[in-house]
Amino acid sequence: MGDIPIYPNRNSFDVYLNPEWYLLDKNKNPVVFGGMPPDDFNKNGQCWGSCVYDWKKLAKYDYEYVIGKIRRVLDYYDILRIDHFIGYVKHWEIDAKNGNPLLGKWKESGGSEFFKRLLEQVDGKRLVVEDLGTALPEVEKVRKELKLKGMNVLQFASQEGGNRRYLPENVVENSLYYLGTHDNNTFIGFLKSLSQDERRKFLQMLKINAKDDGDICIQCVKKMLASKSDTIILQMQDFLLQDENFRINIPGQAKGCWDYRAPKNYKKTFSKTAHRILS
């Protein structure tokens, strides 16, 4: 399973070789940055400092540049996760002069027309769209209309009010199911972060009576395996029952992320957890 980010950096080969497909000024610097408004991942929004596609120009050429990128990446993987699915339907543009995500604006992207063109050239069963975070009705409409495989995260069921879409009994077939993605805390770290009341409500929704964090994690995975989801994905940290100190990424934070390494003795713990899940 591979992954393709929606936006490249100004200094990437993508932009260096193909500046005409991005919103750049005469000096080939970004006019706007990609990012997100405030959401569940970051209450202040996110500014990524990345280049944004010129969707109007792409549409004139049947989106051949972006589709070409996706086709090329599929040469290397069986399944491809399309990051930031919302950005292909509607994207959050941030003025490069101030870089403030709170002052950004929603702009139209390719929408269903882009994905229809894409599915004329690639097998939709090999795609997974990252449809988490900020939810817009038109985004969910595109995913359902074209029957694209989406994502579900069990941790999100604990959000205020409880998003029941992510509970094991409600997860749909055409989807992937995660305890947490690279943008979430480890599951043990997540459990530790809950207040007593939040923890009680979360376990009540899941019908779990265990008190030990490790036992709760194992039972959650078992319930996920019993769901209708096509595929279950677990981070190595969750197999090893590691806490928040082993989290791989914090969205919007540039430093201190993406440097996780499994311990040398990981195989023993991994095997024990796998045995507990399958027993």
Which 3 state secondary structure label does DSSP give 190?
helix
**The domain boundary residue, chosen from 128, 148, 168:** 148
pLDDT of residue 162: 56
Residues 166 and 143 in one domain: no
pLDDT of residue 164: 85
Contacts of 159 (CB under 8 A, 6+ apart): 40
Residues 126 and 157 in one domain: no
**The domain boundary residue, chosen from 125, 148, 171:** 148
Residues 3 and 85 in one domain: yes
Helix axis angle, 111-119 relative to 64-74, nearest 10°?
50
pLDDT of residue 165: 86
Residues 170 and 118 in one domain: no
Residues 6 and 42 in one domain: yes
Tally the domains of the chain: 2
Query: Furthest-apart CA pair in the chain: how many Å?
Result: 62
Residues 104 and 193 in one domain: no
**Which tokens sit at 126?**
């090999």
Residues 8 and 79 in one domain: yes
pLDDT of residue 276: 94
pLDDT of residue 252: 74
Residues 83 and 120 in one domain: yes
Residues 174 and 54 in one domain: no
225-241 as b/e: b if 16+ CB within 10 A: eebebeeebbbbbbbbb
**The domain boundary residue, chosen from 148, 174, 207:** 148
Pick from 202, 150, 198, 182: nearest CA to 251: 182
DSSP 173: S
Full domain range(s) for residue 207: 152-279
For 22, phi then psi, to 5°, come to -125, 160
Q: Which amino acid is at 159?
A: Q
Residues 109 and 81 in one domain: yes
- Walk along the chain (279 residues) in steps of 10 and give the mean pLDDT of each run: 93 96 97 90 87 98 97 96 94 96 96 97 96 81 92 87 82 94 96 95 94 96 96 95 96 86 93 93
160: left (phi over 0), alpha (psi -120 to 50) or beta: beta
pLDDT of residue 137: 84
Instruction: Supply the pTM of this predicted model.
Output: 0.86
Contacts of 25-29 with CB under 8 Å at 24 or more apart are 29/96
Say how many Å lie between the first and final Cα of the chain, rounded: 27
Residues 20 and 60 in one domain: yes
Residues 53 and 120 in one domain: yes
Sign of the four-CA dihedral 63, 119, 231, 132: positive
